[in-house]
Structure 1
Amino acid sequence: MAAEGAEELSNNRDLANCPVAEHDEPEDADLPKPDNEESRGQDGGDPGIPTASITTEEEEEGEMPADFERLWKITSDNPQNFNSWTDLLQYCEQEGHMRASRQALNAFLLRYPLCYGYWKKFADLERRAGHNEKAEEVCEQGLKSIPLSVDLWIHYINLLLGTLNMNLPESTRRIRSVFEEAVSVAGWDFHSDRLWDLYSEWEKEQNNLTFMTRIYDRVLSVPTRHYNTHYEKLKTHLISWPPQDTVSPEEFSKVRAEYKQSQIQAKKERSSEISPDEEERPPGDEEHVDDGTDSEEAVQKMQELLLVSREQVYQQNEAEVRKRWNFEEAIKRPYFHVKPLDRAQLKAWHSYLDWEIGEAETAAGNNNNEAVEGDEGSQQACVAGHDRVTILFERCLVACALYEEFWNKYVCYLAPRGLEEVRNVYRRACQIHLPYKHSIHLQWALFEEKHGNIFEAQRILESLELSMPGLAAVRLGRVGLERRAGRLDVAESLLKETVDQSKHQPSLHAFYSIKLARFLHKLCKSPGKARAVLQEAIELSPDNARLYQNLLELELCGDLRVNGAGVQQCVAKALAAPLSPKTKIRFSQRGLQFAEDFGTTVQSVLSLHEEHQKLLREHDAKRAADNSDDYDPEKMSKMDYISAMTVPQTAPPTMPQVPMTTPPPSLMGGDMSGSYGNYSSWYQLQYGAYGSYQSPWSQYSQYYPPS
Structure 2
Amino acid sequence: MAAAEGREEEMSGNGEPEESPGSAMETSEDSAPPPAEMTEENGGGTVALEPPDGPDNPASFAAPAATEDGDGELPADFERLWKAAHDSPRDFTSWTDLLQYCEQETHITSSRRALGAFLQRYPLCYGYWKKFVDLERRAGNNDRAEEVCIEGLQAIPLSVDLWIHYINLLLGTLDMNLPESPSRIRGVFEDAVVAAGLDFHSDRLWDLYVEWEKEQGNMKNATTVLDRVLKVPTQLYNTHYDKFKQHLNGHEPKEALCPEEYEELRALCRQSQKAERAEQAQEAEEERPPGEEEPATPEGTDTEDLMQKIREQVQLRRDKIYQDNEGEVRKRWHFEEAIKRPYFHVKPLDRLQLRAWHTYLDWELAQLHTDTRDSTQEPTQATPEESEAAARPRKASQEAAVPRDDHRIRILFERCLIACALYEEFWTRYVQYLEVQSVDEVRAAYRRACRIHLPSKPNIHMQWATFEERNGDLTEARRVLEVLEKNVPGLAIVRLRRAALERRAGQLDQSEALLTEAVAESKERPTLHAFFSIKLARLLLKLGRDRSRARRVLQDALEISPENDKLYMNLLELEVSGDPRASAEAVQECVTRALAAPLTSHAKILFSERGLQFAEDYNNSIQSVLSVYEEHQKLLKELGGTKREAENGDEDPEKPSKSEESSAVAESATEATPATPHVPITTPPPPPVMAADVSAQTGYAGYSSWYQQPQYGSYGYQSSWNYNQGYYPPS
TM bracket (short chain): 0.7 to 0.9
Shift in Å, 1:594: 1.3
Give ranges in structure 1 of 5+ residues lacking alignment: 1-13, 24-44, 624-638, 644-665
Distance 1:105 1:667, change over 3 A: closer
Q: Which stretch of the first structure deviates more once superposed, 350-359 or 363-372?
A: 363-372
Contact 1:461 1:474 in 2 (8 A): yes
1:597 equivalent in alignment to 2:607: no
Kept in 2: contact 1:127–1:135 (CA 8 A): yes
Residue in structure 2 matched with residue 252 of structure 1 by the alignment:
262
SS of residue matched to 2:193:
helix
Q: Deviations over 1:469-523 (max 9, x none)?
A: 2221111111111111111111111111111111111111110010000001111
List per-residue Cα deviations over 1:560-606 (Å, max 9, x = no partner). 01211111111111111111111001101111111122222222222
User: Which residue of structure 1 aligns with residue 694 of structure 2?
Assistant: none
Pair 1:192 & 2:187 matched:
no
Q: CA deviation at 1:540?
A: 1.4
Q: What are the Cα deviations for residues 452-471 of structure 1, in whole angstroms up to 9, with x where unaligned? A: 11111111112222222222
The partner residue of 1:356 within 357, 364, 373 is 364
What corresponds to 2:349 in structure 1? 341
Give the 3 Å change call, closer, same or farther, for CA 114–492 of structure 1 in structure 2. Answer: same
State the Cα deviation string for residues 7-40 of structure 1 (Å, max 9, x = none).
xxxxxxx9965631469xxxxxxxxxxxxxxxxx
Match of 1:313 in 2: 321
Counterpart amino acid of residue 233 in structure 2: P
Spell out the pairing of 1:285-434 with structure 2 (5 A cutoff). Answer: 285-291=294-300, 293-370=301-378, 375-434=395-454
Q: CA-to-partner distance for each residue in 1:267-305, whole Å, 9 max, x for gaps?
A: 34445656667497835x5331224x4111111111111
Q: Which amino acid aligns with 2:253?
A: P
> Cα–Cα, structure 1 residues 468 and 568, in superposed 2: closer, same or farther, change >3 Å?
same
Looking at structure 1, the residues matched to 224 and 469 of structure 2 have their Cα atoms a distance apart, in angstroms, of: 48
Superposed CA RMSD in Å reads 3.0
Mapped partners of 2:572, 2:707: distance in 1: 13
> Contact conserved, 2:63 with 2:82, CA < 8 A, in 1?
no
- Closer/same/farther in 2, CA of residues 279 and 470 from structure 1, 3 Å limit: farther
How does 1:630-669 map onto structure 2 within 5 Å?
668=648
Which one of the candidate residues 206, 219, 225 is aligned to 2:235? 225
- 3-state secondary structure, aligned to 1:59: coil
Deviation at 1:54, TM superposition (A): 13
Residue among 689, 696, 703 paired with 2:724: 703
Distance 1:437 1:320 in 2: 37
Deviates more, 1:479-488 or 1:293-302: 293-302
Q: Separation in 2 of the partners of 1:53 and 1:316?
A: 57
Q: Relative to 1, partners in 2 of residues 1:509 and 1:22: Cα closer, same or farther, differing over 3 Å?
A: farther
Name the counterpart of 1:470.
490
> Any conservation in 2 of the 1:675–1:698 contact (CA below 8 Å)?
no
1:173-212 to structure 2, matched below 5 A, reads 173-212=183-222
Q: Which TM-score applies when normalising by structure 1?
A: 0.83
Partner AA of 2:359 in structure 1 = S
Matched, 1:86 2:96: yes
Alignment CA distance shift 1:564-1:18 (3 Å):
closer
Match of 1:509? 529
Q: Which amino acid aligns with 2:653?
A: S
- Aligned equivalent of 2:161, options 148, 151, 154: 151
* Residue aligned with 1:702, SS: helix
Quick check: 2:609–2:719 contact (8 Å CA) kept in 1? no
Rounded to whole Å, the distance in 2 between the matches of 1:390 and 1:279 is 72
Q: Aligned pair in 2 of structure 1 residues 148, 83: CA closer, same or farther (>3 Å)? A: same
Q: Which amino acid aligns with 2:193?
A: V
Instruction: Please give the alpha-carbon distance, in whole angstroms, between the structure 1 residues aligned to 2:243 and 2:721.
Output: 90
For structure 1, which segment, 274-283 or 612-621, has the greater mean C-alpha deviation from structure 2 after superposition? 274-283
Deviation at 1:372, TM superposition (A): 5.5
Identity %: 54
Provide closer, same or farther for how the CA distance between residues 51 and 504 of structure 1 changes in structure 2, counting only shifts above 3 A.
Answer: closer
Distance 2:219 2:326 in 1: 25
1:704–1:479 Cα change, 3 Å:
farther
1:96 to 106, 131, 134: 106
Whichever of the two has the greater Rg, that structure is: 1
Q: Pairwise mapping of residues 600-611 of structure 1 onto structure 2 (< 5 A)?
A: 600-611=620-631
SS in 1 for 2:158: coil
**Deviation of the 1:695 alpha carbon:** 4.0
Note the alpha carbon deviations across 1:654-707, whole angstroms, 9 max, x for none: xxxxxxxxxxxx76369983389x999777699964489764998874334899
Structure 2 match to 1:20: 15
Equivalent residue letter for 2:613: Q
Change in Cα spacing, 1:49 to 1:698, as seen in structure 2 (3 Å) is: same
1:617 to partner: Cα distance: 2.2
Q: Is the 8 A contact 1:92 1:100 kept in 2?
A: yes
In the alignment, the residues of structure 1 paired with residue 418 and residue 63 of structure 2 have an alpha-carbon distance, to the nearest angstrom, of: 22
| Cα pair distance change 1:172/1:51, threshold 3 Å | farther
With the length of structure 2 as denominator, give the TM-score of the two structures.
Answer: 0.81
Partner Cα distance (1:281, 1:619) in 2? 136
- Deviations along 1:524-575, whole A, 9 cap, x unmatched? 1111111111111111111100111111111111110121111111111111
1:579 alignment partner in structure 2: 599
> How many residue pairs were aligned?
629
The equivalent residue for 1:653 is: none
Distance 2:418 2:475 in 1: 31
